[in-house]
Amino acid sequence: MIDTNIVELTKETKNLIIKGHTQLFPVVRIPLGELQYNKLNGRIATWISEYLSNNDKFPEEIEKANMIIEGFMEESNPDLLKKTKTNIELFDQQESAVVLKNGIIVDGNRRFTALRQLSREGKGQKFSYIKAVLLDSDDYTEKEIKTFELNLQHAKEERVGYNPIDRLVDIYRDLITENAPFSPAEYAREVASTEKVVQQEMEVSQLMIDYLEYIGHPLMFHIVRKQKLDGPLREAHRILKSKKIEAENIEDARDVIFASIASFDGDVTRKIRDMKKVVQDSKMLNEVVTELDDTLDDIDAHFHEPDTSTVPGNNIVDVPINQKNKVIEITSKFAERKKLTSAKRAPIESLKRCLDRVNDVDSDAVVRMNSDDIDEFSEYIIRIQEQLDSLKGLTNVD
């Protein structure tokens, strides 16, 4: 707990929305040594995941844990931290943080990081303190504290910078886990969004969870961050949500897409997008699965062998080169074949659209047209008929 005897009251106050209404709180100065980062902070969720995958647990000593998390804060967004640090050095801390009386920072981790570094660099005694609102955690439930955090993170335009994967991890924790504190409707209200958007984010987050299970590393979110899979996962979500994929083909489509995500290099999002029409075509999807049958089995076996599914040291997914090349070869072949087929059918699709437009013409409106409009209308009919005659001649159809 923070030693309140060394906390200094300032003349500043800060309005906070908590428990559903705005309250005015006094701002105090707290020595940095009294504070600790929140290990559940969404901005560093994937970094915490990576650390725990390589270590049994976090150090119990607060300063050791703080130094580790400070490194995460810097790595997660070095440019923004540098900007915050420069601003505080020039103009002092302008915006107050929010801290619980147990010393955990609820809001202001980047400011805390900047002040810690300025203090260590000997920039002045004033940087050894943080200005903050001090909340008693006994006065609020965990859900109320989390709601407060969501309000803070979404209430102001400048509160951005979440890695998109860290955002999906937050969605998972807040909405999908067994004891998730929020319903989609509640969450949408707190982040000023819609329930439909939140439901969609939940589906993408669940797809992330499914992918990690597929590669044999459940809940190791840092792997998804290092692969930069926000774009590919969202593309995969759009494909798998398509009504053109029959229910009995969803699992096959998902396995092919997951194997592709793990195997592809370069612009993975575009390459997954190129597979859309392949997996939506039942016959072609079946051909892909048939040609990749043994390869998909081998990949699944590899992913579920202990300590073999990632490259040591960087946690990037490691698909054996033979299986990787096979996935790339087969999926690329069928994607190109689908593009060629689509190109061959392009004239037919154009005529279908033209017919739809012609069917939209209101015959009653034609009857009521004046003479000038009739002349123009007739001219278009003649030009269209000439073009159709020309196309008909190319097909040798009588």
Token readout for 268 is 């993975």
Contacts with 37 (C-beta within 8 Å, 6 or more apart), sequence order: 44, 65, 66, 69, 70, 73, 104, 105, 109, 112
Select from 36, 72, 367 the least CA-distant residue to 222. Answer: 72
Token readout for 85 is 């640090």
pLDDT (tens, 9 = 90+) of the chain, 398 residues, equals 788 789 999 999 999 888 878 899 999 999 999 999 998 888 888 999 899 888 888 899 999 999 999 999 999 889 999 999 999 999 999 999 999 999 999 999 999 999 999 999 999 999 999 999 999 888 888 888 888 888 877 655 445 556 899 999 999 999 999 999 999 999 999 888 999 999 999 999 999 999 999 999 999 999 999 899 999 999 999 999 999 999 999 999 999 999 999 999 999 999 999 999 999 999 999 999 999 999 999 999 999 886 554 544 556 678 999 999 999 999 999 999 988 877 666 787 778 878 888 898 888 888 899 988 999 899 989 988 988 888 788 887 65
CA distances to 2, 112, 148, 273, 317 from 99, rounded to whole Å, are 10, 11, 12, 44, 38
SS3 state at 203: helix
Q: Phi, psi (5° rounding) for residue 17?
A: -95, 110
CA distances to 33, 166, 205, 218, 304 from 230, rounded to whole Å, are 37, 10, 10, 17, 23
* DSSP class per residue in 249-302: GHHHHHHHHHHHHHH--SSHHHHHHHTHHHHHSHHHHHHHHHHTHHHHHHHHHH
CB 62 within 8 A of CB 33: no
Cα–Cα distance measured from residue 155 to residue 183, given in angstroms and rounded to the nearest whole number: 20
* DSSP class per residue in 46-89: HHHHHHHHHSSS--SSHHHHHHHHHHHHHHH-HHHHHHHHHHHH
Alpha helices in 137-249 (DSSP H): 142-155, 164-171, 184-190, 195-214, 221-226, 230-240
Helix axis angle, 78-91 to 62-76, nearest 10°: 110
Annotated domain spans of the chain: 4-157, 197-344, 347-394
Q: Enumerate the β-bridge partners of residue 104.
A: 36
| Reported pTM | 0.81
Select from 172, 23, 27, 187 the least CA-distant residue to 111. Answer: 27
